[in-house]
Chain A
Amino acid sequence: MTTTPAHIEYVTRLGDNALILGQRMSEWCGHAPVLEEDMALANMSLDLIGQARMLLTHAGKLEGKGRDEDQLAFLRTEMHYRNLTLCELPNVDFGRTMVRNFLFASLQVLLWERLLASSDTELAAIAAKSLKEARYHAQHAGDWVVRLGDGTAESHERAQAALDYLWPYTAEFFAANPTDEAIAAAGIGPAWSELEAAWEAVVVPVLNEATLTVPARTPFKSYGKFGRHSEHLGHLLSEMQYLQRTYPGAQW
């Protein structure tokens, strides 16, 4: 298989999603509402960083310019990051964190399921390992969405506010684009636009169980996966990349 730019971009997007959300989730470590959640959030963050390492290593190999996982993670600037905007948004509170995790992990489950059959065998192997993790993340976050939505008046209000805030960013998940078309045609993976109905079929019943109102679609569009991000990514990267930027070329 000859490597195409679309292939590199697609794998990079998967890796960047995992890295940026993993980074966000790691911010919770030591600050969660109960010790068990400190552990669970650290665990999920570790899963995502592990996925990011495999995916970015793979993307670097596909690219063939000798860039490894760390060069890709620490030496790219905002516009070269291909993660969904949703992944880079600040945690704000436990409610927004869990609603975000649920919306994203539910997408990841569908992606990994489809990527098991990827013509890119390395990607298929990563999918096999990551699918179990994503299922656990979706389950864990989904349980919390239900608890918070159908908990106290305050928790319901916070969960609904989180959903209202995050929902518009989920349109980006399914935005059609030439990269996805090329990838689908090459049998590497699904065009994400194909997954929308399946995603809603998984997500909406849980939101209903949580007694949350599913927001209507709005004209709002975000473009993180195309390299145009929110203001938040720059701050996340400047923190994450600090040592590599300050001491160029040092080994750690």
Chain B
Amino acid sequence: MYTQALDIPQQNAEKAPRAVENPAYQAEFDAKIDAGGYIEAKDWMPEAYRKTLVRQISQHAHSEIVGMLPEGNWITRAPTLKRKAILLAKVQDEGGHGLYLYAAAETLGVSRDELLDALHTGKAKYSSIFNYPTLTWADIGVIGWLVDGAAIMNQIPLCKCSYGPYARAMVRICKEESFHQRQGYDLLLTMMKGTQEQREMVQDAVNRWWWPSIMMFGPHDKDSVHSGQSARWGIKRISNDDLRQKFVDATVKQAEVLGVTMPDPELKWNEERGHYDFGAIDWDEFWNVVNGHGQGNVDRLAARVKAWEDGAWVREAALEHERKRAAREHQAA
């Protein structure tokens, strides 16, 4: 999930597929990729491959931790103790995903602090889905169902991506994401069986999250710059449009069971294609949110920066204490 900006045209596309920096190593690398093998941290890899991975993995990691904010918004107001525990555990899982992913990125020679600095200064992107506000409790269910659902569609192929540490992190993450999706859907089922007000809340949340969710798959294949190279490197295995279609097909049926309608009058089954047709995506809205032209982005980043800055004295204290302890040990020895 959360790797949409990988395909953003205006980011300088690394051209020159398989640029030859070192012909012998390059041949070995290519052969491994072509055979569907894994590249490990100690293996030689082209610089462009390394850079692309750092960008993709760190963007994913940032998305996980920024993603803690919209859902965290409801932890203190969860309606039952059981739901509170489920939500807290879910948000904690997302933090764990951030940790695995930063660790995977670190195998590529960058530090977590550098990556966080890029996030805090606005140089690195995170998934724009998390810039949307969570307005009612139903948003918590809809995020689990649609946002985690879209994330799973995007991420399952990455469990077999060519970079070993990333693939292994994704296996753990995908397991937890599908758990989140089921919990979200269960929350919505319960609300739909409830009062009229609860059903209205669910429908309102679906109205707000549907289009942003299907935008999570990124631009159409014809507008996607990085996809070709990434596919060749085995770090993007299924196209944006194919994944999006798969997601729409799966969720429309779930919506029927739930008893909600998607806010798209053009959504209907196409017998010939064997898929659901859906309306045109408002890409202006997509690019606006991706490029951070929105107060949602300002607020989310401000919250992350505030947490980081407020915590500076704590991190410094931990380092200083460690330094003192080591010095005392040294003196005693």
Residues of A that sit less than 8 Å from B by CB: 19, 23, 26-27, 29-39, 42-43, 45-46, 49-50, 52-53, 56, 69-70, 73-74, 93-95, 146-148, 150-152, 154-155, 158, 239-240, 242-244, 247, 250-252
Contacts and interface: CB of A to CB of B under 8 A. Distances in A.
Contact of B91 (A42, A50, A152, A239): A42
Interface stretch (B155-163, B189-197, B282-290): B189-197
Contacts of A242: 77
B76 A35 contact: no
Contact of A29 (B83, B92, B102, B316): B92
Contacts of B307: 30-33
B23 to A, nearest CB: 41
B231 to A, nearest CB: 31
Interface stretch (B52-60, B93-101, B222-230, B263-271): B93-101
B324 interface: yes
B252 interface: no
Contact of B95 (A19, A26, A42): A42
Given A147-B321, A154-B313, A252-B83, A30 B77 contact: no
Given A27-B75, A151-B320, 19 more contacts: A26-B75, A30-B95, A33-B310, A33-B315, A34-B315, A37-B314, A42-B91, A42-B92, A46-B89, A49-B81, A93-B310, A151-B324, A152-B320, A240-B77, A250-B195, A250-B197, A250-B198, A252-B137, A252-B191
B98 A147 contact: no
A30 B303 contact: yes
5 contacts: A19-B81, A49-B81, A94-B311, A147-B321, A244-B79
A71 B124 CA distance: 45
Which of B99, B306, B314 has the most chain A CB within a 10 Å cutoff?
Answer: B314
Contacts of B65: 30, 35
B79 A151 contact: no
Contacts of B193: 251
Contacts of B190: 251-252
B11 to A, nearest CB: 26
A243 B317 contact: no
A146 B311 CA distance: 17
A26 B84 contact: yes
B82 interface: yes
Nearest to B187: A252
B68 interface: yes
B68 A155 contact: no
A230 to B, nearest CB: 18
A148 B92 contact: no
Interface string B298-311: 00000100111011
A148 B195 contact: no
B67 to A, nearest CB: 9
**Which one of A30, A38, A154 has the greatest number of beta carbons of chain B within 10 Å?**
A30
B88 A26 contact: yes
A29 B72 contact: yes
Contacts of B191: 252
Judged by DSSP, the binding face of B is helix
A50 B85 contact: yes
Contact of A158 (B72, B187, B197, B313): B313
Nearest to B314: A33
B10 interface: no
Contacts of B84: 26, 49
Given A49-B85, A151-B321, A26 B76 contact: yes
Interface of B: 65, 68-69, 72, 75-85, 88-89, 91-92, 95-96, 98-99, 102, 137, 187, 190-191, 193-195, 197-198, 303, 306-308, 310-318, 320-321, 324
A243 B76 contact: no
A150 B69 CA distance: 32
A150 B324 contact: yes
Contacts of A155: 313-314, 316-317, 320
A35 B92 contact: no
Contact of B85 (A36, A46, A152): A46
A90 B318 CA distance: 23
A122 B1 CA distance: 45
A27 B69 CA distance: 11
A240 B187 CA distance: 18
Contacts of A251: 190, 193-194
Nearest to B99: A35
Nearest to B94: A30
Given A30-B303, A247-B197, A252-B83, A151 B318 contact: yes
Contacts of A29: 68, 72, 75, 88, 91-92, 95
A39 B93 CA distance: 8
A250 B194 contact: yes
Nearest to B316: A152
B95 A252 contact: no
Contacts of A56: 81
Nearest to B311: A33
Given A53-B81, A243-B137, A247-B198, A43 B92 contact: yes
